[in-house]
Structure 1
Amino acid sequence: MQTRIDEVADGIYRLSTFVPEIAPPAGFTFNQFLVMGEEPLLFHTGLRRMFPLVREAVARLLPPERLRWIGFGHYEADECGAVNEWLAIAPRAEAVHGHTGCLVSLNDLADRPPRMLADGEAIELGGGRRVRWLDTPHIPHGWDAGVFFEEASGTLLCGDLFTQAGDGPALTEGDVVGPAIAAEDLFGFSSLNPGMGATIRRLAALSPRGLALMHGPSFAGDGAAALRALAEDYDRRVRAAGGRAMPAVDA
């Protein structure tokens, strides 16, 4: 395996490792995102066993010990399995997550105390770059789930939202909703609940110009339209399961 590096927005780099043995014959990508700044952020740590690959990729962009923030969407091995490995090589780094993730996981598992963020709280990375944390509980799964929105580039760091199989381009202006629907049909990875559509539409209200997918290509274009279409599909699934989707709530 090797980790590919691509700049998918100004100062945001996608570190992508393709694993053909997962979901064959298409295979599956595991992506981390390095957000540059005076206080750089790595979003997703990667699996613990992938740490050497990802560390090498980060080192091609900046000295790994310069990392300041280690974030992820929810507690899962591919999102945070290597958190302590990163904390060990970056002495100023802090893990960062929402209240739930810190209270139920990070306060215990992280080798240094994490930075706990409230819903909507932002971190200044310097150089005019700021990331804002948004709680998305149970969406697509995980009680502690959330996303970061990088405001300068308008990039939503999506975590497992829009997951798709395959090893496509690093960046696309094409359809990311259809492949995400197909992946949901294949894996059934989402925790269907009445609030899914409303929570995703709250993200659409940010009008992101880019979507940084953990599994699949990053997207450049009308992120709000893609999020609304994904919300509609989840509403459909909730109704099909006998539930009632909640109305949209303004951001």
Structure 2
Amino acid sequence: MITNKQSGTTVHEVADGIYRISTPVALPGGGFSFNQYLIADDEPLLFHAGLRKMFPLVHEAVASVLPPQRLRHIAFSHVEADECGSLNEWLAAAPQSAPLCGTVAALVSISDLADRPPRALADGESLSLGKHTVRWYDTPHLPHAWECGFLMEESTRTLLCGDLFTQGGADNPPVTESDILGPSEAFRRQMDYFSHTRNARAMLERLAGLEPTTLACMHGSAWRGDGAKLLHALADALSA
């Protein structure tokens, strides 16, 4: 569903109760997409607050699914403009909401940057949203940032995997079962945004052990299939 014809912002349900909000952007040499993921539940959660300048577009898209003021959790993988640039705008729009992040992000950044105190999740800690339950996994420096981490939604086996498997282009389908490792590795070779942490394989194997069936990527298509196999393949590619 297109929620803004001028920007091309769209909303699609990629797993039960989980919606991909995507805004395409034209860039020199090709396009790019910025995605947020909305979990509609008793305590709705938005993963990736988005760029500050995109707040009106994302707010409009959220409103097509549920009243934005119902949001309770504004979550993100790490501190970066496209992850949490509009965090305070969301806190103002949803008076009962709070930032949701890992303990490192809360300690070093969000307790100061955010207009309300964050809810900090420890590694492996879970949070019930109603029908959905999310669990936080620390992934320091994978792909980048000390405070980086991901959420796993356990009932749908959806891994909200942030910048992992970033795909270029502005016209990717909302969800695909086709190869995304090849396009994401091609993008990584052009823009070396991974930290090259020596712990990458161990962290990816831990995520593979969760056996996700949907990967909610921040840039490009969401992906459906054998997530464990794909995460092991990424570990191999990073080790090559």
The gaps in structure 1 that reach 5 residues or longer are: 237-251
1:77 and 2:81 aligned:
yes
What letter is aligned with 1:154?
R
Who is 1:210 aligned against? 214
- Which of the residues 65, 71, 84 maps onto 1:61? 65
What letter is aligned with 2:157?
G
- Which of the residues 130, 142, 145 maps onto 1:139? 142
Please give the residue correspondences for 1:211-250 in structure 2 after superposition, counting only pairs within 5 Å: 211-236=215-240
What letter is aligned with 1:142?
A
Who is 1:248 aligned against? none
Give the 3-state SS of the residue equivalent to 1:33 in structure 2.
strand
- Which of the residues 162, 165, 172 maps onto 1:162? 165
How high is the TM-score relative to the length of structure 1? 0.92
Please give the residue correspondences for 1:14-163 in structure 2 after superposition, counting only pairs within 5 Å: 14-21=20-27, 24-126=28-130, 128-163=131-166
Structure 2 Cα separation of the partners of residues 184 and 144 of structure 1:
21
Give the 3-state SS of the residue equivalent to 1:50 in structure 2.
helix
What letter is aligned with 2:135?
R
What letter is aligned with 1:101?
A
Structure 2 Cα separation of the partners of residues 49 and 63 of structure 1:
20
- Which of the residues 181, 185, 189 maps onto 1:185? 189
Structure 2 Cα separation of the partners of residues 105 and 235 of structure 1:
31
Displacement of 1:54 in angstroms is 0.4
Structure 2 Cα separation of the partners of residues 226 and 176 of structure 1:
9
What letter is aligned with 1:229?
A
1:176 and 2:177 aligned:
no
CA contact (8 A) 1:43 1:72 kept: yes
Structure 2 Cα separation of the partners of residues 15 and 165 of structure 1:
16
The gaps in structure 2 that reach 5 residues or longer are: 1-6
What letter is aligned with 2:194?
S
Q: What are the superposed Cα offsets for residues 137-172 of structure 1, whole Å, 9 maximum, x if unpaired?
A: 000000000000000100000000001101210000
CA contact (8 A) 1:94 1:114 kept: yes
Displacement of 1:25 in angstroms is 3.4
Displacement of 1:2 in angstroms is 3.0
| Aligned CA-pair RMSD | 0.7
What letter is aligned with 1:161?
L
Give the 3-state SS of the residue equivalent to 1:227 in structure 2.
helix
Structure 2 Cα separation of the partners of residues 176 and 226 of structure 1:
9
Q: How many residues matched?
A: 233
* Displacement over 6 Å in runs of 4+: none
Structure 1 Cα separation of the partners of residues 69 and 197 of structure 2:
40
What letter is aligned with 1:220?
R
Q: What are the superposed Cα offsets for residues 152-211 of structure 1, whole Å, 9 maximum, x if unpaired?
A: 100000000001101210000011111111011011011012111111111000000100
CA contact (8 A) 1:2 1:53 kept: no
Structure 1 Cα separation of the partners of residues 168 and 8 of structure 2:
18
Between the aligned residues of both structures, percent identity stands at: 56
Structure 2 Cα separation of the partners of residues 193 and 109 of structure 1:
27
Give the 3-state SS of the residue equivalent to 2:129 in structure 1.
strand
Structure 2 Cα separation of the partners of residues 28 and 201 of structure 1:
28
Q: What are the superposed Cα offsets for residues 75-126 of structure 1, whole Å, 9 maximum, x if unpaired?
A: 0000000000000010100101111000000000010000011000011000
How high is the TM-score relative to the length of structure 2? 0.96
